[in-house]
């Protein structure tokens, strides 16, 4: 079987909540809906790492819940390991594990107790040995006998990652797997996932808003915006689509939204955006010959500390295709 996951024409809508009592009365008896997924189609090959990239509210978590059988699609079909979901999910449940950004743990149990419960559910052999290895790998040995409601966000995500690996899944589904983790642990987990995929051929489906994470891990990524798949390709091919663009990165002394708007109004600028929590701005231009004009224009408002001609990133790609940027401070839905 070449395809581990196959998603065909999946759509989902939710009933809109009334914003006020009077709106509820006004619309009494009239159901109002918002479509969050529009005819989603993609497949994930065996041994592939496939990523979903999209801004807040794009529909990623809803799609993951449909794939896992936690929600029913209004239309379309999902197949995992040859079985229709959710009807036949229990036939392949032991071959899958999942992590959602909102952790699913027994809060009244300690960390190690959580792993024991899930290990017994999955009938894991050599459970004690495996738990000790996972606690050590994820730097949780000292927290093993602490109740999980006292864990930090990063510790919870690391424990969830340990839980997801107990049954050596053929398919690992990860919704924001490094959310809330410090840089060193996040890098360690990325390396581990890459190694897991390379050595065991574990198929991984993940969502992330960290562009460097998707670039490092994924064989292919799907750009999703407003419930629609915009583009699917390898990170390298997606970035190659922007090779004709000129991307300038500048470090400014001062920056503001008004300055950003002025830059974007220049006729030779296609898109400009600030890089989170820095004084840097990235600008997509149609021709490098206009660089002098750009610099002269910006110097009217602030000093330029330095600039470089940059290579395309996945953030640039997403902005190019959707006009939106993905903030690293967002939690995606």
115 and 38 share a domain? yes
Q: Is the pLDDT of residue 81 over 90?
A: yes
**Which residue, 35, 28, 34, 30, is CA-closest to 16?**
34
Cα–Cα distance, 224 to 230 (Å, whole number)? 6
Inside any domain, residue 116: yes
Residue 223 near residue 277, CB atoms below 8 Å: no
CA-CA-CA-CA torsion sign (199, 101, 274, 316): positive
271 and 210 share a domain? no
In the three-class reduction of DSSP (H, G, I as helix; E, B as strand; rest coil), residue 54 is classed as coil
Q: Is the pLDDT of residue 333 over 50?
A: no
Inside any domain, residue 322: no
255 and 191 share a domain? no
Cα–Cα distance, 285 to 269 (Å, whole number)? 5
Token code pair at residue 276: 């989170």
Inside any domain, residue 324: no
171 and 206 share a domain? yes
Cα–Cα distance, 64 to 52 (Å, whole number)? 10
The arithmetic mean of pLDDT across residues 306-321, rounded, is: 84
Cα–Cα distance, 221 to 214 (Å, whole number)? 8
79 and 142 share a domain? yes
The arithmetic mean of pLDDT across residues 26-36, rounded, is: 70
Instruction: Tell me 154's DSSP state.
Output: H
pLDDT one-digit tens code per residue, 174-196? 988 887 778 888 888 899 899 99
In the three-class reduction of DSSP (H, G, I as helix; E, B as strand; rest coil), residue 207 is classed as strand
**CATH number where 129 lies:** 3.40.50.300
260 and 188 share a domain? no
The arithmetic mean of pLDDT across residues 117-139, rounded, is: 93
**CATH number where 257 lies:** 3.30.70.100
Among candidate residues 177, 201, 234, the one where a domain is terminated: 234
- Of the two residues 165 and 54, the one the predictor is more confident about is 165
Inside any domain, residue 323: no
**Which residue, 251, 247, 302, 243, is CA-closest to 270?**
247
Number of domains making up the chain: 2
Instruction: Tell me 109's DSSP state.
Output: S
Highest-confidence range of 168-172, 246-250, 315-319, 321-325, by mean pLDDT? 168-172
79 and 157 share a domain? yes
Inside any domain, residue 97: yes
**Which residue, 193, 171, 170, 196, is CA-closest to 181?**
193
Inside any domain, residue 329: no
Residues in a beta bridge with 49: 204
147 and 10 share a domain? yes
Cα–Cα distance, 273 to 295 (Å, whole number)? 16
The angle that helices 183-200 and 153-164 make with each other, rounded to 10 degrees, is: 10
70 and 211 share a domain? yes
Q: Is the pLDDT of residue 8 over 90?
A: yes
Among candidate residues 199, 234, 269, the one where a domain is terminated: 234
Among candidate residues 208, 234, 260, the one where a domain is terminated: 234
188 and 268 share a domain? no
The residue range of the domain holding 137 is 3-234
56 and 106 share a domain? yes
Residue ranges with strand state E in 18-175: 33-45, 49-53, 75-80, 83-85, 96-99, 171-175
Average pLDDT across the chain, whole number = 86
Inside any domain, residue 203: yes
Q: Is the pLDDT of residue 211 over 60?
A: yes
| Direct distance between the N- and C-terminal alpha carbons of the chain, in angstroms, rounded to an integer | 31
What's the confidence (pLDDT) of residue 40? 96
Q: Is the pLDDT of residue 26 over 70?
A: no
Q: Is the pLDDT of residue 28 over 60?
A: no
227 and 265 share a domain? no
Cα–Cα distance, 143 to 151 (Å, whole number)? 8
Place of tokens 């992330």: 208
Inside any domain, residue 199: yes
Residue 219 near residue 234, CB atoms below 8 Å: yes
């Amino acid at each position: 079987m070449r395809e581990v996951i196959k998603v065909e024409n999946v759509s989902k809508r939710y009933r809109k909540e009334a914003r006020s009592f009077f709106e509820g009365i006004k619309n009494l008896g009239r159901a109002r809906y918002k479509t969050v997924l529009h005819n989603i189609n993609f497949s994930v090959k065996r041994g592939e790492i496939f990523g979903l990239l999209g801004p807040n509210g794009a529909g990623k978590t809803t799609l993951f819940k449909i794939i896992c059988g936690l929600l029913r699609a209004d239309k379309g079909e999902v197949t995992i390991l040859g079985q229709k979901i959710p009807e036949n999910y229990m036939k392949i449940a032991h071959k899958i594990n999942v992590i959602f950004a909102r952790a699913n743990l027994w809060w009244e149990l300690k960390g190690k107790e959580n792993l024991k419960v899930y290990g017994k559910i999955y009938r894991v052999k050599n459970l004690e040995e495996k738990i000790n290895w996972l606690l050590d790998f994820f730097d949780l040995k000292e927290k093993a006998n602490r109740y999980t409601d006292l864990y930090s966000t990063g510790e919870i995500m690391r424990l969830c990652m340990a839980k997801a690996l107990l049954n050596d899944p053929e398919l690992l589904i990860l919704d924001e797997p490094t959310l809330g983790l410090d840089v060193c642990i996040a890098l360690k987990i990325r390396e581990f996932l890459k190694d897991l995929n390379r050595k065991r051929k574990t198929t991984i489906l993940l969502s992330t808003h960290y562009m460097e994470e998707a670039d490092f891990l994924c064989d292919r990524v799907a750009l999703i915006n407003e419930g629609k798949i915009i583009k699917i390709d390898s990170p390298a091919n997606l970035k190659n689509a922007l090779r004709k663009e000129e991307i300038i990165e500048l470090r400014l002394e001062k920056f503001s939204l008004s300055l950003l708007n002025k830059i974007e109004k220049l006729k030779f600028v296609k898109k400009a955006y600030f890089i989170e929590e820095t004084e840097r701005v990235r600008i997509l231009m149609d021709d490098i010959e206009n660089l002098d004009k750009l610099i002269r224009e910006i110097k009217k408002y602030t000093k330029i500390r330095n600039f470089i001609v940059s290579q395309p990133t996945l953030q640039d790609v997403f902005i190019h295709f959707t006009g939106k940027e993905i903030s690293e401070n967002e939690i995606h839905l």
